[in-house]
Amino acid sequence: MGNAAGASRKTFALSAIVFTCLAGGPVFAQACPPPDELQAHSVKRHFWQEKYLQGMEKPLMSEGVVTATADKVVWHMTDPFDMETTISPEGIVQSVNGGAPEPAGQGAGAIGAAIASPITALMRGQWDELSSTFAISRSTDPDGGNWIVELKPLDERLRKILASISVQGCTDVERVVVRQADGDMQKIRFADTASGAGAQ
């Protein structure tokens, strides 16, 4: 009886290991596919943002949802207040607390477009669009195995606003670090695509 029970436990343990491997679990983690394979045509992701400003000890925290379709990108910040920024071929507009959209301020609008456009292009796998605007370098995180894509502006006017964008992920974009030319920095973390807006 004892031998039968022991054999049964071993079979269960082996079955659990095989199932975990087939399900992509932690026993044998699959390597991350290259970022070139990202092909999402539309994007909807929850995000958390930390904004580090010169002269301030603590970052400004915010969160919301970014939605990107073929013709526009909408960054909807829901906390600490409601502000929706829409970037489209017609320009950049902002709506506060559900109010009427108004043209975004020149400084904020330029930075918003410089950040949102390349992040969305990378999520969609639009490498031709990225390579025409940025010098692109790829590497692998030695700790986690995630890929890292570093974007540095080619255009001199854009370099006056933006120093670099570092994007990290595996099966999708997970984290972004934006370094502005003035020394300010933004860190953006996205919810996992499969887990929904509530992921932490």
CATH code, domain carrying 37: 2.50.20.10
Confidence of residue 15 (pLDDT cuts 50, 70, 90): very low
Residue 11 and residue 78 in one domain: no
Give yes or no for a contact between 76 and 84, defined as CB atoms under 8 angstroms apart.
Answer: yes
Tokens representing residue 172 in the block = 């999708």
pLDDT at 46 over 90: yes
As a whole number, mean pLDDT of residues 127-144 equals: 85
199 found inside a domain:
no
Confidence of residue 108 (pLDDT cuts 50, 70, 90): low
Can you give the residue range of the structural domain that contains 65? 32-190
Residue 172 and residue 157 in one domain: yes
As a whole number, mean pLDDT of residues 168-191 equals: 91
Residue 58 and residue 24 in one domain: no
151 found inside a domain:
yes
Residue 54 and residue 143 in one domain: yes
pLDDT tens-place string over residues 144-166: 789 999 999 998 988 988 999 99
Give the 3-state DSSP-derived string for the chain, with helices as H, strands as E and coil as C.
CHHHHHHHHHHHHHHHHHHHHHCCCCCCCCCCCCHHHCCCCCEEEEEEEEEECCCCCCCEEEEEEEEECCCCEEEEEEECCCEEEEEECCEEEEEECCCCCEECCHHHHHHHHHHHHHHHHHHHCCHHHHHCCEEEEEEECCCCCCEEEEEEECCHHHHCCEEEEEEEECCCEEEEEEEECCCCEEEEEECCCCCCCCCC
Residue 8 and residue 37 in one domain: no
Q: What is the pLDDT of residue 1?
A: 52
Residue 121 and residue 58 in one domain: yes
**Across 17-31, 67-81, 103-117, 172-186, least confident range:** 17-31
pLDDT at 135 over 70: yes
